[in-house]
Structure 1
Amino acid sequence: MVIPQQIDETCQKPSGSLLVKPVKPEAPKTGSREDILNHVILYGEYTQTLESQVDQWIKLYGGQND
């Protein structure tokens, strides 16, 4: 069982961007090159956003970020 840490005046609060779950792009509608390439771009942006959020959570709670 995880017990939440007690919040005090020194506790940092996460920014709003850390609390918003990014929207995962839908799969391409067709197998055309254009649709697949557009999906790759959108999915790359999605995963970069997730990675950035994880890095920010780690920094916020004093963990190591290699």
Structure 2
Amino acid sequence: MRYTEERYISLLTDFGFKRIFGTNPNKDLLIDFLNSLFDGEQVVKDVTFLNSEHVGDVRA
């Protein structure tokens, strides 16, 4: 019998949130999540992912 260690991604971290909600395969999951937050006041039909990471200058 092989032992398998279970791993979980915390949605409370920047990495975890982006990993789960910030990818195209999980686009429907993100839309459902946002619509549940808005509770009918707004309706999200589509999202577009942009690269918003800004890496600072690195001194050589």
Q: TM-score, normalised by structure 1?
A: 0.23
The structure with the greater share of residues assigned to helix is 1
The structure with higher relative contact order (CA 8 Å, sep 6+) is 1
